[in-house]
Amino acid sequence: MSRLIPVPEGGPLTAVKAGRWLPARGARDGARRRPLPPGLVVGAAIFALMVLVALLGPLLLDDPKQPDIANLLADPGSAGHLLGTDTLGRDLLSRIVTGMRVSLLVAGLGMLGALLVGVSAGLLAAFGGRWAETVVMRLVDVQLAFPYVLLAIALTSVLTPSIPVLILLMVLAGWAAFARVVRSSAMQEREKDYVKAATLAGASKPRIARKYVLPSLLPPILVLGAMQMAMMIVFEATLSYLGMGIQPPTPSWGGIMLEGQRYLKDAWWVSTLPGVGILLTTVSLNLVADGLQKRFGARLGEA
């Protein structure tokens, strides 16, 4: 099988839907001696590079909001504009980089929020008794079943689109996956001897959850985190494209692609390049997730 684009065995998405986690034998022992998977290194490197560009870029590049009427829809490579300009003559490269900044911010914070909410919910479902478990898992089912776009439409018709609202949407869209994985892993951990020993020694449930179970859940949470962040970058771009996300004139990847749609014939790069940027970011994040899975020897799989 070509190593160009490795795809995890059984697939992370399938595994997320199943929501279960299996630590492999000897995972911890071998971890130190085994070399890092190449996919992980490459993915992490690309992603780090993009974060760097997002942070430093705006300092080095032209003002993304500055129109240049003389140079509307310039080709990439033309005078002073590495990637050309958009419909108002604004430098495309700086717009894309600024858009990336916003995307990474929203997706990053969204992922962290979803992580916090989801992990808490998952632990609650695992340790909080039957009633808590039922309620949480039903909510998880509903969220995972519902088309994310409709959720966004419903919410943005009510609240004015802004960055905090977007982040809220991300959290709403992403928490359930974390909850599901955490719950099933926590339930498996709960059956292990060291947890039973702690219970016998008198440790309370919250303490067990926090001190014993949580650390061993770190690998699947990290893997899922990378994947969810990739998903949220795509989600944010989609929302911006549909007009529900970042509002103009702040550049956003989706927004740029929307503007460029009318000029697909003559200036197709306006709509293409931000997409390439998204692709680079999400592929690198998925490589990281894939590599993390391999590294920790664990699989998000069917039991």
- Of 100 and 195, CB closest to other proteins: 100
- 303 forms part of the interface with other proteins (CB under 8 A): no
Of 154, 224, 212, the residue nearest 188 (C-alpha): 212
Query: What single-letter DSSP state applies at residue 75?
Result: P
Sign, Cα dihedral of 231, 234, 240, 244: negative
Beta-carbon neighbour count of residue 147 at 10 Å? 8
- Residue 292 in contact with residue 36, Cβ under 8 Å? no
- Of 2 and 200, CB closest to other proteins: 2
Q: Please report, as residue ranges, which positions from 16 to 35 form the binding site for other proteins (by CB under 8 A).
A: 17
- Of 185 and 284, CB closest to other proteins: 284
Q: Please report, as residue ranges, which positions from 145 to 184 form the binding site for other proteins (by CB under 8 A).
A: 145-150, 153-159
- 11 forms part of the interface with other proteins (CB under 8 A): yes
Q: Give min distance, CB of 8 to other proteins, in A.
A: 9
| Residue type for position 71 | N
- Residue 246 in contact with residue 102, Cβ under 8 Å? yes
Query: What single-letter DSSP state applies at residue 85?
Result: B
Long-range contacts of 86-89, Cβ-Cβ distance < 8 Å, separation of 24 or more: 86/256, 86/259, 86/260, 86/270, 87/259, 87/260, 87/262, 87/263, 87/270
- 134 forms part of the interface with other proteins (CB under 8 A): no
- 78 forms part of the interface with other proteins (CB under 8 A): no
209 Cβ contact partners less than 8 Å away, ≥ 6 residues apart? 123, 126, 127, 186
Q: Please report, as residue ranges, which positions from 195 to 254 form the binding site for other proteins (by CB under 8 A).
A: 230, 234, 237-238, 241-244, 254
Question: Could you tell me which stretch among 23-31, 86-94, 209-217, 271-279 binds other proteins (CB under 8 A)?
Answer: 271-279
Two tokens, residue 14: 């399938």
Question: Could you tell me which stretch among 58-66, 102-110, 136-144, 187-195 binds other proteins (CB under 8 A)?
Answer: 136-144
Q: Give min distance, CB of 196 to other proteins, in A.
A: 34
Which ranges of the chain does DSSP label H, i.e. alpha helix? 12-18, 27-33, 38-60, 92-127, 130-145, 148-156, 163-190, 193-200, 205-207, 214-216, 218-242, 253-260, 269-295
- Of 142 and 197, CB closest to other proteins: 142
Q: Give min distance, CB of 121 to other proteins, in A.
A: 17
- Of 112 and 135, CB closest to other proteins: 135
- 117 forms part of the interface with other proteins (CB under 8 A): no
| Binder among 66, 78, 204, 272 for other proteins (CB under 8 A) | 272
Q: Give min distance, CB of 10 to other proteins, in A.
A: 5
Q: Give min distance, CB of 104 to other proteins, in A.
A: 15
Residues in touch with other proteins (CB under 8 A): 1-2, 4-7, 9-11, 13-14, 17, 141-142, 144-150, 153-159, 230, 234, 237-238, 241-244, 254, 257, 261, 264-265, 268, 271-272, 274-275, 278-279, 282-283, 286
